[in-house]
Amino acid sequence: MSIESQIPIAAGQASRRFAGRLAAFYATLFGTTGVHLPFFTVWLKAIGIDPAWIGIITAVPPVTRFTVLPLIIAAAERRQMLRGAIILTGFATAFGFLVIGTQRLPLLVLLAYALTCCVWTPMVPLTDAYALRGVRRYGLNYGPLRLWGSAAFVVGALGCGLLLGTVPPTHLIWIIAAVTVLGALVGLSLRPLDQAVATSAPMHGARKLLRDPGFLAIIVSSALIQSSHSAYYIFASIAWQQAGLSGLTIGGLWTIGVIAEIVLFALSPRFTLPSAVLVVIAAASAVARWTITAQDPPLPILAVVQLAHGLTFGLTQVGIMGLMVHHVPAHMIARGQGYLAACGGMFASTTAILCGAVYARYGQGVYHMMAAMAAIGGLVMWLARHRFTHHPQSAASGG
C-alpha cells in the first residue's frame, strides 16, 4: 500500500479518536451538571442548611462566571494550554467536591463550594474552545459532539433520581463527587492539539457597546428572563421532595424540561419570526410557567408545565444569540459575549440570594417574583424591538 493511501486512513482514525474522547468528556462534564443541578440543594437541605443559606451558597457559580472565569480562560488561551487547563480544573473540581462532602457547617460549605466553583465553572468554555479547535483541525461538526453532553444530563438526572430512592439524601454529594472524578480521569484521554497562533481580538471601540441602548436591552432582557429560572434551579427539587414525589419522578421532571430544550434547539432553524419577537414570546411563556408553578399544581399539570422549559430557556437563548449576531459588529462579538455573561452572572447571583430569603418566608410564592422578572425582561425587549434590524431567526444565530 502506498504512503499516500495510508494518510487518509490515519487522519480518519485520528479524527474518530478525537471525536470519541471529546464526546465522552462532554458526557461526564454535563453528566455532573445533571446530578448537581437537581440534587445539590436536596443534599444541602438534608444536612440541615436552611433556605436562606441555600440561596447564598447557590449564588456562588454565577458570581465566578463574571469574576474568576474570564481570568482562567484568558490565562489558558495566553499560554496555549487549553487541554492542560481542562485536566487541571477537572482534577481540582473533583477534589473540591470531595472536600465539600466532608463539611456540614453552612459557612464551611460556602467556602469549599466557592473555591470549587472557581475551577469548575471555567470547564465548559475551556472545553468548547478545545472542541472548536479540534473541529477546525479534523473537519468535524460541533453539534454531534456537544449532543452527548445534553444526553448525559438527562441520564445523570434520571440516574441520580433513581438512586435517591435507595441512597440517603445526605449521601447525594458523593454521587456528584464520583461523576467529577470520572470526568477528571476521562479528561486525561483528550488528545493534544497543535498549538494555535496566539491572536488578540480588536479592542478599539468595544466599550461603545455599553453606550448602545439596543445592546443594553439585549443583555438586560436576557439576564432578567434567564435569571427568572433561579427559583426553579434552586428549590424545585426540594419542593417536589416535600410534596412526596420520588427521586425518579423528580429526575423525570427535570428530564422533560431538558428534552423540550433539545427539541427546540433542533427546530430553531425553521423559525421565521424576528429574534426580538422570539425573546418576547419566551418572556411571556416564562410568566405563564412561573405563575402556574406558584400554585403548586398536581403532577400531571406540572409535567406539562415542564415542557415550557424549551420556550422559557431555549427560545430565550436562540433569540438572544440571534440578536447578538445581527446587532453586534463582528469585531466586537467576543467582547459582547463577555458583557452578556457578566450581566447574566450578576443578575443570577443576586436573584439566588433573594430567592433564598423569599422562599424561606413564602415557599412556592417565590415564583411570583420570577414571573415579575420575566415580565420586565420581556417588556425591555418589546420597547427596544425597533432598534433591531427586522430579520428572521436563522440556524446560524441559534444558541
List pLDDT tens digits, range 254-269: 889 988 888 887 788 7
Instruction: Determine the pLDDT at residue 390.
Output: 58
pLDDT score of 211: 87
Looking only at Cα atoms, what is the longest distance across the chain? 75
101 pLDDT higher than 80: yes
Mean pLDDT estimate for the chain? 85
For the stretch 275-289, pLDDT in tens is: 999 999 999 999 999
What pLDDT, in 10s, does the model give residues 334-387? 567 667 777 888 898 889 889 988 998 899 999 999 999 999 999 999 999 998
Contact 26, 128 (CB under 8 A): no
CA 169 to chain centre: 24
pLDDT band at 4 (very low <50, low <70, confident <90, very high): very low
CA distances from 352 to 55, 209, 253, 359 (A): 5, 27, 21, 10
pLDDT score at 397: 38
Closest by Cα among 181, 226, 170, 147 to 39: 170
Contact 224, 282 (CB under 8 A): no
Task: Compute the C-alpha angle 356/362/368, nearest 5°.
Answer: 85
Q: Judge whether residue 111 has pLDDT over 60.
A: yes
| pLDDT at position 141 | 65
CA–CA distance, 323 with 388 (Å, rounded to integer): 8
pTM score, two decimals?
0.71
Q: What is the mean pLDDT of residues 121-127?
A: 85
C-alpha radius of gyration, the chain, whole number:
21
Q: How far apart are CA 151 and CA 77, in angstroms?
A: 28
| The three grid cell numbers given for residue 313, joined into one nine-digit string | 430557556
Which residues, in sequence order, are CB contacts of 207 under 8 Å at separation 6+?
none
pLDDT: which is higher, 240 or 9: 240
Query: Given a cut of 80, is residue 54 above it in pLDDT?
Result: yes
Asked whether residue 396 carries a pLDDT value surpassing 50, the answer given is no
What number is the average pLDDT over the span 242-253?
88
User: What's the chain's length in residues?
Assistant: 399
pLDDT at 116 over 80: yes
- 226 neighbors 311 (Cβ within 8 angstroms): no
Look up residue 224 and give its three cell numbers: 432578567
Instruction: Please compute the mean of the pLDDT values over residues 324-333 and round it to a whole number.
Output: 71
| Euclidean distance between CA atoms 396 and 325, whole angstroms | 9
Written as one letter, the residue type at 125 is P
pLDDT over 50 at 71, yes or no: yes
Nearest to 157 by CA among 42, 265, 244: 42
Q: Which grid coordinates are listed for 369? A: 417574583
Q: What is the pLDDT of residue 78?
A: 73
